[in-house]
Amino acid sequence: MEHGYALSVTWTGDRGEGTRDYRGYGRDHVVRAEPVRGQAPPDLLGSADRTFHGDPARWNPEQLLLAALAQCHLLSYLHVCVDAGVVVTAYVDRAVGTVRTDRDGGGQFTEVVLRPEVVVADASMLDAAAAAHTRAHALCFIARSVAFPVRHEPVVRVGRALPPS
């Protein structure tokens, strides 16, 4: 079975002279998803990373890739937990990614580390909750599609909510 996804990315950073020089144009753009069944998420305001003359108040592609990996793991993990009889009551992931740039301006992600903190309803679920991360990683479409390591450093606790951070 195949699933299709469509969106548009529209550059909005022309400051009147196009790309005449490297510092003369904005990196701002709008990411817009195509409506599905008449619904579309809000537009996403994007730019480049601040290092590359972008607007730090907007999402950059590196953050979006990191977010996609963290979201995919979360959603796969919740599915796996349901199947395993694990009741998750809270979840937060403080993910980090590392990008190495080259002298020519190119680069690549070298690693992403997902750090999910999970709270489960009962102590009897701790082992299954910890093991569910491995299965969730195997199911995650995004993690399976990238050419760099995606590691996990999960913490699982019992309770109803996460401790304050």
- pLDDT value of residue 6: 79
For the chain, the structural domain boundaries read: 1-59, 61-158
DSSP secondary structure letters along 2-48: -----EEEEE----SSTTSSTTSS---EEEEEPPBTTB-PPPEEE--
Across all residues in the chain, what is the average pLDDT? 92
* 61-158: CATH number: 3.30.300.20
Q: Which of 5-9, 23-27, 77-81 has the lowest mean pLDDT?
A: 5-9
**Confidence band, pLDDT 50/70/90 cuts, at residue 36:** confident
pTM for the structure as a whole: 0.89
Distance separating alpha carbons of residues 28 and 11, to the nearest angstrom: 6
C-alpha of 140 from chain center: 12
**Confidence band, pLDDT 50/70/90 cuts, at residue 31:** very high
